[in-house]
Amino acid sequence: MSYRENVEITRTACLADGVYEMWLKTEKMAKEAKPGQFISVYSNDGSRLLPRPISICRIDGNKLRIVYRVAGKGTEEFSKMEAGQRLDIQGPLGNGYELEKILSDVAGKTGKKVDRAVLFGGGIGVPPMLELAKQLHDAKTCDVEAVLGYRDNQLFLKSEFDEFGHVTVATEDGSIGTKGNVLDAVKTCKITGDVIFACGPTPMLRAIKAYAEENSIEAYISLEEKMACGIGACLACVCKTTHKDEHSQVNNARVCKEGPVFNAKEVEI
Amino acid sequence: MEVSKLTDKDLNLGVDIAGVHLNNPVMEASGTFGSGMEYSEYVDLNRLGAVVTKGVANVPWPGNPTPRIAETYGGMINAIGLQNPGLDTFCNRDIPFLKQYDTKIIVNVCGKTEEDYIDAVEKLGEQPVDLLEINISCPNVKEGGIAFGQVPAMAEKITAAVKKVAKQPVIMKLSPNVTDIAEMARAVEAGGADAVSLINTLTGMKIDVNRRTFAVANKTGGLSGPAIRPVAVRMVYQVANAVNLPIIGMGGITCAEDALEFIMVGATGVAVGTANFNDPMTTVKVVDGIRDYMIRNGVKDIHELIGCVK
Ligand SMILES: Cc1cc2nc3c(=O)[nH]c(=O)nc-3n(C[C@H](O)[C@H](O)[C@H](O)COP(=O)(O)OP(=O)(O)OC[C@H]3O[C@@H](n4cnc5c(N)ncnc54)[C@H](O)[C@@H]3O)c2cc1C
Ligand SMILES: Cc1cc2nc3c(=O)[nH]c(=O)nc-3n(C[C@H](O)[C@H](O)[C@H](O)COP(=O)(O)O)c2cc1C
Ligand code: FES
């Protein structure tokens, strides 16, 4: 189930240049949310009709935390809001990570229990990995290795990942950790694992898909596409799939419904 | 001022479109609501006069490359490219789903050739659907890609061809991308249409100045949403004065007042499109708002309002 709610903002903060967080007090949404899912956030300005899809960064009781980068007028509006103000949101949306299922599927395919999960987050793809890291850590079935890519030394959320596993950092400007992107960090630090989870810009996901295929590792990646309904009705947000999709009867899956998390082998990016 | 003493049960919101009775005039616009499955988590479909399904063709269509949409001021541009699963899947999955509800089913049909439309309409003849809505904004591939709905003779011809095989009443959905909408309405009336719906989207373009390219991959797309409402109201008014057919009006409806504009210039039915993306409950809010307006203003029957602005 997903819901439409008018929620109260309970906390906001600026985490890095242009990167903000917001905690939202929900009635039902947080209780049903999974890592990897997203919410639709609506503008209070009637000239902007379409929802802004934002990933769930943390789930805490009845609260959801989102972390977003100011990318245009809508996210700019959100960044100016304060605790006590209200927002319309819808969710939780998308498939998210069905952790138990994914871990047993991977074990089934590889014939080996998942002992180590590698989580890749690039830029504003870092936040959605946090709840996943927490749930993997809490389940105590495998080690968590997080590889986080940032532009510079503003390592937002990094210290929170430290609580849930081992963290490796790459920065584009080389100010901290490996200079370059997350895959450069993987190569330099010789990181391996039994399953990959990744969220970030498309070129990064493309490289991870190739890396996973070369090394025969199952990889789950979160895709982004422009959305209108956010619930699977309008067919705005499709991605190319290698198989005929059951819903569409063509090689297109809905990022907002069948995704945003896909097995990397099943999509063309 | 005298306060109206009407209550809910005194009101008549029911309307007839081409002999089909709708419990109220409100439906959603094709393509913005799928077949209602996803929205049924938010909306009680029993409360809609009808559900209008996403355009379906005789065979599956893959649609356009992404990005398929872009937001614009008070509206959006879409170039979905009529992606659809084809009639077989639609008839096996979507129609049985909708039959669970106490609402009418209007199936929107698209095609690339006259034969495509005829094939789809013939197959739908055996299905338990109430009305067909023929989207003639699709390019006619045999006539150099110009839309069926842009040339009066072509619109009349496709209407007549569809009418010849259709088992259900036929609504012709008009494109606003024409010089004279009244002439198009007269053409489909001459072809034998049972009703008309309008407006489809207005062709538009948006440039993404950061990427220095078109905001939607198809370059052009259809503009919809509140930004187009005044154009749509004007066109419904013109069509109401040009033909003797029931009209379903749409284009930028977000609330009851917007819907009443269309009704007052002559629409018997109204459809909510883009506004569903902003608030999935818009359709039922429009129904409730029309009811409130009638109570407030002592209007017993919706027919007192249809076409009351000449
Ligand atoms: C599933 C999903 C999860 C996301 N999670 C996050 C997140 O956790 N944090 C974060 O900062 N960003 C996230 N994004 C990207 C975020 O949706 C956009 O940055 C945001 O919509 C930009 O809105 P704007 O009004 O500021 O920009 P504008 O450019 O003014 O937006 C114009 C329109 O384009 C859409 N749009 C613009 N960029 C994107 C984009 N990258 N993806 C989808 N739609 C876009 C907007 O929603 C809006 O409809 C996510 C996107 C998706 C699809
Ligand atoms: C995303 C999207 C998809 C649409 N798909 C169809 C379609 O399949 N067939 C059709 O006849 N009209 C389609 N339309 C047009 C709408 O039904 C409607 O005519 C138009 O959007 C104007 O109404 P609105 O401003 O309320 O959205 C679509 C519109 C949108 C925004
Ligand atoms: S945004 Fe409408 S189907 Fe995904």
Per-residue pLDDT reduced to its tens digit, B194-227: 999 999 999 999 999 999 999 999 999 999 999 9
d(CA B28, CA B35): 10
d(CA B201, CA B77): 9
Containing B272, the helix (H) or strand (E) segment is strand B269-272
Contact A235 B68 (CB under 8 A): yes
Is residue B74 in some structural domain? no
User: Is B198 within 8 Å of B247 (Cβ atoms)?
Assistant: yes
Shortest Cα–Cα distance, B194 to chain A (Å)? 28
Is residue B75 in some structural domain? no
d(CA A48, CA A50): 6
pLDDT at B2: 54
Non-local (6+) Cβ contacts of B302 within 8 A are B11, B12, B13, B14, B15, B24, B25, B263, B290, B294
Check if B138 is active-site.
Answer: yes
User: Angle at CA A159, nearest 5°, toward A157 and A162?
Assistant: 115
Rounded to the nearest angstrom, the gap between the alpha carbon of residue B7 and the centroid of all alpha carbons in its chain is: 30
Is residue B76 in some structural domain? no
Q: Which residues of B touch A248 (CB under 8 A)?
A: 60, 83, 85
Is residue B215 in some structural domain? no
Is residue B93 in some structural domain? yes
Could you tell me the distance, in angstroms and rounded to a whole number, from the CA of residue A52 to the centre of ligand 1?
5
Size of interface A-B (CB pairs under 8 A): 108
pLDDT at B3: 56
Is B274's Cβ below 8 Å from some Cβ in A?
Answer: yes
Rounded to two decimals, the pTM is 0.97
Structure tokens at A109: 């395919």
Is residue B216 in some structural domain? no
d(CA A7, CA B186): 50
pLDDT at A188: 87
With a pLDDT cut of 90, the percent of chain B lying above it is 93
Q: Which residues of B touch A4 (CB under 8 A)?
A: 42, 279-281
Non-local (6+) Cβ contacts of A156 within 8 A are A15, A16, A19, A67, A126, A150
Structure tokens at B281: 């409950």
Give the residue range(s) of CATH 3.40.50.80 domains in chain A.
Answer: 99-222
Q: Does ligand 2 lie within 6 Å of residue B30's CB atom?
A: yes
Shortest Cα–Cα distance, B306 to chain A (Å)? 28
Nearest to B62 among A46, A49, A251 (CB): A251
Single-letter residue type at A36: G
Q: Does ligand 3 lie within 6 Å of residue A247's CB atom?
A: no
Nearest residue of B to residue A231, measured between CA atoms: B38
| Per-residue model confidence as pLDDT tens digits over B113-165 | 999 999 999 999 999 999 999 999 988 788 777 889 999 999 999 999 999 99
User: Is B48 within 8 Å of B28 (Cβ atoms)?
Assistant: yes
Which residues form the pocket of ligand 1, taking CB atoms under 6 Å from any ligand atom?
Answer: A 38, 50, 52-55, 68-69, 71-75, 124, 127-128, 224-227, 260; B 71
Assigned architecture for domain A3-93? Beta Barrel (2.40)
Where in the sequence is the domain holding B107, given as residue range(s)? 8-64+81-203+223-304
Backbone angles phi, psi at A253, to 5 degrees: -115, 155
Judged against a pLDDT cut of 90, whether residue B8 lies above it is answered with no
Single-letter residue type at B283: T
Q: Which of B173, B215, B280 is nearest to B64 (CA)?
A: B215
Containing A108, the helix (H) or strand (E) segment is helix A99-110
Topology of domain A99-222, CATH: Rossmann fold (3.40.50)
Nearest to B85 among A4, A47, A248 (CB): A248
CATH of the domain at B86: 3.20.20.70
Q: Which of A184, A144, A176 is nearest to A160 (CA)?
A: A144
Shortest Cα–Cα distance, B192 to chain A (Å)? 31
Q: Is A4 exposed, middle or buried (0-12, 13-18, 19+ CB in 10 A)?
A: middle
Domain tally, chain B: 1
User: Angle at CA B280, nearest 5°, toward B274 and B282?
Assistant: 75
Structure tokens at A76: 């700019």
Give the ipTM of the model, two decimals please: 0.95
Is residue B310 in some structural domain? no
Give the DSSP letter string of A128-145: HHHHHHHHHHHHTSSEEE
Catalytic residue among B91, B138, B255, B308: B138
State the residue for tokens 């409730």.
B288
Could you tell me the distance, in angstroms and rounded to a whole number, from the CA of residue A16 to the centre of ligand 2?
40
| Per-residue model confidence as pLDDT tens digits over B253-297 | 999 999 999 999 999 999 999 999 999 999 999 999 999 999 999
Judged against a pLDDT cut of 70, whether residue B228 lies above it is answered with yes
Is residue B43 in some structural domain? yes
Average pLDDT over residues A146-174: 96
Q: Contacts from A10-15 at CB under 8 Å and sequence distance 24+? A: A10/A63, A10/A83, A11/A83, A12/A81, A12/A82, A12/A83, A14/A79, A15/A67, A15/A154, A15/A156, A15/A157
- The atom of ligand 2 lying closest to the CA of B69 is 1
Could you tell me the distance, in angstroms and rounded to a whole number, from the CA of residue A255 to the centre of ligand 1?
13
State the residue for tokens 């895709």.
A223
Beta bridge partners of B113: none
d(CA B83, CA B106): 18
